[in-house]
Amino acid sequence: MTTFDIVPGNVASRVLDEDRAAVIALVRSAYLTHEAGQSVNPDSYFLRFPEKPDARIIALPAYLGGGTDLAGIKWIASFPSNVAEGNPRASAVLVLNDYRTGYPIALLEAAGISAARTAASAALAARTLGGGAALSGRTAVIGAGVIARTITDYLAAAGWQPDEVLCHDLHEPSASRLAAHVGSLGFDARTTGSLEEALDCDLVVFATTAAQPYVPADTRLRPGQVVLNISLRDLPPELLLGADNVLDDVEHCMKAQTSPHLAEQLTGGREFVTGTLAQVLSGEVTTDPGRAVVFSPFGLGVLDLAVGAYVLDQARKREETVAVPGFFGQERRW
């Protein structure tokens, strides 16, 4: 008999918050499994609305092998207008499918899972690409929403000990709340209304909802600076051409008018790409210490599967899933 479980968001949050280092390790392993070809990660599918041009719902189907052996799909909505009402921009569910039978085995509330895998990816990149300098110097976080807050939590789990954290957002109250959150983690934090000041930090994190580049094209990044281009569209293509560029997946990043996609259109090629984060992790690719490095992750469904499988396993062990008896209307073929 096939069972079907639901994992509510509060259960998923408890699991994720208790061991962020484990989530970072899961994301690291998923990247390496994906790089080794033991995954299937098709293009994301975007549902857009003519009367709501800034809103979208995205489907991310994927299969992850390497011991996880699950398929699934994340269905995540991004409605920026929610923020004006004090609600999170994003909401999501994750369906996990058994690889042997194809049957769905669980439905998880996944806004927290999505934020955690994104933040774990950012923290892993900061630790891998910048080492001690990125984690101990001055940090700027540009954009002050749920993703930004979650990234600071995961940076702390990765060994972050910043000298100072600058929080920049067009909505100053949000920047103030993020600064207060960072302060609660034990770090010195303040807001800044100056984008230029933020861009001068050793580690710069972009976590905005920007639809197109706004950072000045004549901005110069310093050697050794690490830029986490999480929101993907803040940076002009000219800026990328003067830095090492590390992506999560090259093909995925070269679409939807992301900064790397714009750089490809500008140059007519991909020579500006240094490699993937998995290639850096494995030692196949090294970055130039004489240049800044920009990490641009499009966001892979295999990461949602890795983190979702972990959450489901932990929730089942704690007996905190909600079983749905009789979910499948036909248990036998005959």
Structural domains in the chain, CATH included, are 5-113+301-323 (3.30.1780.10), 121-296 (3.40.50.720)
SS3 content of the chain, % helix, strand, coil (to 5): 40, 25, 35
pLDDT at residue 326, as a whole number: 86
Residue 125 CB partners (closer than 8 Å, separation 6+): 226, 228, 246, 277, 295, 297
User: What does pTM read for this prediction?
Assistant: 0.95
Classify 246 as helix, strand or coil.
strand
Query: Which among 180, 187, 185 has a CA at the least distance from the CA of 163?
Result: 187
At how many degrees (to 10) do helices 9-18 and 20-35 cross? 90
Is 48 exposed, middle or buried, given 0-12, 13-18 or 19+ CB atoms closer than 10 A?
exposed
> What does each of the 334 residues of the chain score in pLDDT, given as a tens digit?
578 999 999 999 999 999 999 999 999 999 999 999 999 999 999 999 999 998 999 999 999 999 999 999 999 999 989 988 989 889 999 999 999 999 999 999 999 999 999 999 999 999 999 877 789 999 999 999 999 999 999 999 999 999 999 999 999 999 999 999 999 999 999 999 999 999 999 999 999 989 899 999 999 999 999 999 999 999 999 999 999 999 999 999 999 999 999 999 999 999 999 999 999 999 999 999 999 999 999 999 999 999 999 999 999 999 999 999 889 888 788 8
What whole-number distance in Å separates Cα of residue 241 and Cα of residue 254? Answer: 15
List Cα–Cα distances, 312 to 72, 99, 107, 109, 110, in angstroms.
Answer: 13, 15, 9, 11, 11
pLDDT at residue 331, as a whole number: 77
What whole-number distance in Å separates Cα of residue 59 and Cα of residue 215? Answer: 29
pLDDT at residue 1, as a whole number: 54
